[in-house]
Structure 1
Amino acid sequence: MSSDGAREKRAGHGSPSITRLLPSMVTMLGLCSGLTSIRYTFAGQWEPAVIFIVVAALIDGLDGRVARMLNSATTFGAQLDSFADFLSFGVAPAFLLYFWLLYSMRVVGWVLVMIFVVCMSIRLARFNVSLYDEDEKEDWRKCFFVGVPAPIGALLSLIPVMLTFYDGDVRWISDRILNKNTVSAYLAFVAFLSVSNIPTISAKHHNISRRWFYMLVTILAVLMVLAITNPWVILPLMGVLYFVSIPIGGIYYAYISARSTAAKMSKARKAVSSTEQNTK
C-alpha cells in the first residue's frame, strides 16, 4: 500500500463496514417503498399504494433500532432517514389523497395537500433539531414526542382511504361520511397535529417491568396477526385508539411536569435553607 493510500485510510476515507451501511440500506428500503406507493397512486391502484406506505412506516421503525443495536448511528444516516420520511410520509400520502378524492376540489384540494406536505417537512426538521438537545432533556421528557410523529401522521391521514377497502356490513357508514369536505377537514386536522406542541406518548424511553413487557408483546402479536388477516378494520381501529391516547398523554405529561416542578422547587428551598443556616 502506498503512503498516500495509508494516509487516506487513516483519515477515515476507506470503505465503510457493512455494519455502518446496514441501517442506511434499511432506510433506503423504506424510501423505495414510498416511491412504489407513488407509482401505484399514479396507476389508480389505491390499495397497494396504501400498503406500501404502511410497509414504509414499519421499516422506519427498524432502521434506528438496527443502528443502535449495531452501534452504527451516524449523522449521514439521520439525514438520509429524514429525506426518506419526507417522501414516504409527506409526498406519498399527499399524492394518494389528492388523486383519490381531493382532485375534485381543484385548487383547494391541491392547496390542502401542499399544506400537509409542508407540515410534515416542518415536523421532520423540528425533530432533527431536537436530536441535538436530546442529552440535555430531562429523562421524563424523552418519554414524549412534541406533536404527532410523521409516520403515524401519514397513517392517520390514510384512514379514510382504508375505510373504503372494507366490504363489511357497515360499509354504508363510510360511504355516507367520506366526502371531499370531511376528508379535507380531517387532513387539515392531522396536519395541524403533526406541527402542534401537543405532547404525545413515545414508547422509546419508557421503562416497562417484565410482567407488563410480556403482556404488551402478547397484545402486539395478536394485533399484528389481526392486522395481517383483516388490515382495513384493525388499522383504522388502531388509529382511533391513537387519537384517544393523545388527551391521555397530555394529562400524563401535565402530571409528570407538575411533579418535576414541585421536586425542583423543594430542592431549591432546601438549598436556600441550608445556605442560610451555614451563614448564621
Structure 2
Amino acid sequence: MPTPFQPFEPHGRGGPRIREIPLRMILPNLITVLAICAGLSGIRLAFEMRFETAVVMVLIAAFLDGIDGRIARALKATSKFGAQMDSLADIVNFGVAPALVIYAFLLDRAGSPGWIAALLFAIACGLRLARFNVLDEDQDRPAWQAEYFVGVPAPAGAVVVMLPIYLVFIGAVVPDRVFGFVCSGFTLLVAFLLVSRLPVYTGKTIKIPGDKVLPLILGVALFVMLLVTYPWQTLSLSVIGYLIFLPLSARAYSRRARLEEQKAAAAAMQPPAD
C-alpha cells in the first residue's frame, strides 16, 4: 500500500536509495524547523505585546539558524535538501522576524517611514543571503578573502538591528515618536551594512594557543552567565562593541589587500626559473 508521504532522500535525485535514514542526517533539518518555529513565534508574541519573550524567541531562532549548517558539517550530514531549506529559513529568521518585531515595538510609532525601514531591512537581508550563496560558490576568489564576509552577515544584522529594543528594556531611552524615527534611521543603516561591500572578519582561521584555551573557556562561561543574568545590558554592550569592530575590520582588510598586492608584484618581478 503506498504511503501518503514521499520518501525522504537527503542526497537528492541520482543518489543511492536509502530506506532507513540515520538520525544524524535528520538532526540539522530538525534544528532548522525549530528555528523557523521560534522566529514565527516571536512575530506572534510581538503582536500580542509580549515583547521581551518575542525578542528572546527571535534571538533563539537566529542562534539555531546559525548553527544548523555547522552541525550538519560536523556530523557529515550535509545535503542539497538541507542547504535549500536553510536558505529559505534564513530569510525568515534573520530578516522577516526581526523586522516585524522591531516594527511592532518601535517603528510603528514613526508611521509609514517605520514600515518602509522594516521592509527595506527584510529585503536587504534577502539580498545579503543571495550574495553569500553566490560568493560561496565562487572558486576564483583568492583564498585569503574567504577570511572576510562581504557586508555584515545576516545573523549579526538580526541581532544588531534590535539594539534600540535592548536600550528600551534597560530604560536607557524612552520609546516615543521621536525615537521611532531614530530607530527607522538605524534600521536603514543596518540594512545598508548588510548589502554593502564592507569586509567583516569571520574569525574562522583564528587558532587558540594551548595555554590560552582554559582562559578562553572561562571567558565564554562568564559571557554566558552575564547574558543569562543581565541579558539586555550584555546584548547592548555586545552590539556596540561589534559596531566598533566593523571599521577596524575594514582597516585590517585594506592592510591585508596591500600586502597581497605587494607579494604579487614581487612574484611577478622575479625571473622565471630555468
Distance, in Å, in 2 between the alignment partners of 1:146 and 1:36 is 30
Q: Which amino acid aligns with 2:230?
A: N
Residue in structure 1 matched with residue 194 of structure 2 by the alignment: 194
**SS of residue in 1 equivalent to 2:149:** strand
Distance, in Å, in 2 between the alignment partners of 1:73 and 1:10 is 16
2:103 pairs, out of 98, 105, 108, with 98
Residue in structure 2 matched with residue 125 of structure 1 by the alignment: 130
Does structure 1 retain, via aligned residues, the 8 Å contact 2:38–2:60? yes
Check if 1:247 corresponds to 2:247: yes
Per-residue deviation, 1:218:
2.6
Distance, in Å, in 2 between the alignment partners of 1:131 and 1:145 is 10
Distance, in Å, in 1 between the alignment partners of 2:202 and 2:230 is 26
2:48 pairs, out of 40, 43, 46, with 43
Residue in structure 2 matched with residue 137 of structure 1 by the alignment: 141
Distance 1:216 1:244, change over 3 A: farther
**SS of residue in 1 equivalent to 2:36:** helix
**SS of residue in 2 equivalent to 1:200:** strand
Per-residue deviation, 1:140:
2.1
Does structure 2 retain, via aligned residues, the 8 Å contact 1:198–1:250? yes
Distance, in Å, in 2 between the alignment partners of 1:119 and 1:251 is 24
Residue in structure 1 matched with residue 153 of structure 2 by the alignment: 149
What is the TM-score normalised by the length of structure 1? 0.86
Distance, in Å, in 2 between the alignment partners of 1:10 and 1:160 is 49
Distance, in Å, in 2 between the alignment partners of 1:268 and 1:234 is 50
What is the TM-score normalised by the length of structure 2? 0.88
Residue in structure 2 matched with residue 274 of structure 1 by the alignment: 272
Distance, in Å, in 2 between the alignment partners of 1:18 and 1:165 is 40
Residue in structure 2 matched with residue 6 of structure 1 by the alignment: none
Higher helix share: 1
Distance, in Å, in 2 between the alignment partners of 1:226 and 1:206 is 24
Identity across aligned pairs (percent)? 33
Distance 1:212 1:196, change over 3 A: farther
Distance 1:11 1:238, change over 3 A: closer
Which sections of structure 1, spanning at least 5 residues, go unmatched? 1-8
Per-residue deviation, 1:11:
4.8
Aligned length: 260
Distance, in Å, in 1 between the alignment partners of 2:115 and 2:249 is 33
Does structure 2 retain, via aligned residues, the 8 Å contact 1:24–1:77? yes
**SS of residue in 2 equivalent to 1:203:** coil
Does structure 2 retain, via aligned residues, the 8 Å contact 1:147–1:200? yes
Residue in structure 2 matched with residue 236 of structure 1 by the alignment: 236
Distance, in Å, in 2 between the alignment partners of 1:263 and 1:231 is 46
Which sections of structure 2, spanning at least 5 residues, go unmatched? 1-12
Residue in structure 2 matched with residue 74 of structure 1 by the alignment: 79
Q: How far does the alpha carbon of each residue in 1:185-221 deviate from its partner, in whole angstroms, 9 at most, with x for none?
A: 1111011101110001112233333334443333222
Per-residue deviation, 1:79:
1.8
Per-residue deviation, 1:13:
3.4
Q: How far does the alpha carbon of each residue in 1:22-52 deviate from its partner, in whole angstroms, 9 at most, with x for none?
A: 1111111111110110110121111011001
Distance, in Å, in 1 between the alignment partners of 2:223 and 2:147 is 23
Distance, in Å, in 1 between the alignment partners of 2:40 and 2:116 is 22
**SS of residue in 1 equivalent to 2:131:** helix
**4+ residue segments displaced more than 4 Å:** none
Q: Which amino acid aligns with 2:25?
A: R
Residue in structure 2 matched with residue 107 of structure 1 by the alignment: 112
* Larger mean Cα displacement after TM superposition, 87-96 or 100-109: 100-109
Q: Which amino acid aligns with 2:91?
A: F
Distance, in Å, in 2 between the alignment partners of 1:132 and 1:269 is 32
Distance, in Å, in 1 between the alignment partners of 2:165 and 2:15 is 51
Does structure 1 retain, via aligned residues, the 8 Å contact 2:106–2:175? no
Q: Which amino acid aligns with 2:128?
A: R
